[in-house]
Amino acid sequence: MVALRRHQLVRLNAAGWGALQERPWDDAARDCLAHWAAHHLPLVVTQQRDGLSDGRLALGLPAPLQWQRRRFALQASLCDVSYFDEFPAAAEVTLLLPAAVRAAWRVLVRELEAFDAAPRVYGSVGWQRLTGLAYLHAASDIDLRLSVADAAAADAVAACLNDAAFTAPRIDGELVFADGSAVAWREWLAWRAQRVDRVLVKRLHGVAMEAGDTWLREGLRC
């Protein structure tokens, strides 16, 4: 079985798209899925719920503005996956940002790369970069996926984001440990500062409010 990860992209083959399009969709959904299939656009790995049959993947398609930002929960067979892919690196989305903030964005990206955080952009900005379709609106945030090796690295990356001169659009996103456990970077800061005694940890198979650091120590052993 492939080692799946949250925010991992999936490219389906023709058989996979055919199977998805055979479902009894409404006209708008059918139109959106037909566009995705015709342009070989990706789907994203979502929470792998209990009850999925062996060899089936839970996938998502967050539609752009022209399809009212509709969210599709889909399933596909692993054998219909052509290959797995990734959201764009943070440096690749610079031109989607307002001109006035691009220099500050480049500085922030270099700082994050210096921490080996391998920043990638998902959410509206990432999907617009991938598809060329309109996802961004006035309230759009930038969602970053940031790889961290341990708690010290997570502290450094979160502090970098907290202290960044880049203030708009708002930067959201997750610190992702080697075992796939992920914590929103602002929630990590609050937890480490003991402003809260629990932290929401997201994993491929579910989410949990964790107290203490057992979850973190176990994850670092992976």
pLDDT tens digits for range 163-177: 998 888 999 999 999
H or E element: which one contains 111? helix 102-114
Instruction: Say if residue 169 is in the same domain as residue 72.
Output: no
Residue 4 maps to a domain? no
Among residues 206, 145, 139, which one has the least CA distance to residue 173?
145
Please give the Cα distance from 73 to 58 (Å, whole number): 7
Q: Is residue 64 included in any domain, yes or no? A: yes
Q: Where a domain ends, among 53, 85, 117?
A: 85
3-state secondary structure of 132: coil
Looking at the fold, whether 201 and 100 belong to one and the same domain comes out as: yes
Q: Is 143 a catalytic residue?
A: yes
C-alpha closest to that of 63 among 127, 107, 122: 127
pLDDT tens profile 112-144:
999 999 999 999 999 999 999 999 998 999 999
- Active-site annotation holder among 26, 27, 143, 172: 143
- One domain for residues 153 and 70: no
Instruction: Say if residue 78 is in the same domain as residue 94.
Output: no
Give yes or no: 116 in active site.
no
Specify if 177 maps to a domain.
yes
Which of 28, 54, 85 represents a domain boundary (last residue)?
A: 85
Question: Which listed residue (80, 85, 141, 172) is catalytic?
Answer: 141
| Same domain flag for 104 and 37 | no
Q: Is residue 1 part of a domain?
A: no
**Looking at residue 220, what is its pLDDT?**
64
Q: What is the pLDDT of residue 73?
A: 95
Indicate whether 81 and 97 sit together in one domain. Answer: no
pLDDT score at 3: 80
Which regions in the chain score pLDDT beneath 50? none
- In the chain, the percentage of residues whose pLDDT exceeds 90 is 86
Q: Do both 56 and 112 map to the same domain? A: no
Domain membership of residue 74 (yes or no) is yes
d(CA 29, CA 164): 40
Tell me what pLDDT residue 210 has. Answer: 94
Domain that holds residue 51: 9-85
Task: State whether 107 and 70 are in the same domain.
Answer: no
How far are the Cα atoms of 26, 51, 146, 147, 153 from residue 209, in angstroms, in the given order? 37, 23, 20, 21, 21
Q: How many domains does the chain have?
A: 2
Could you give the 3-state DSSP secondary structure of residue 221? coil
Specify the residue for token string 């060899």.
Answer: 55
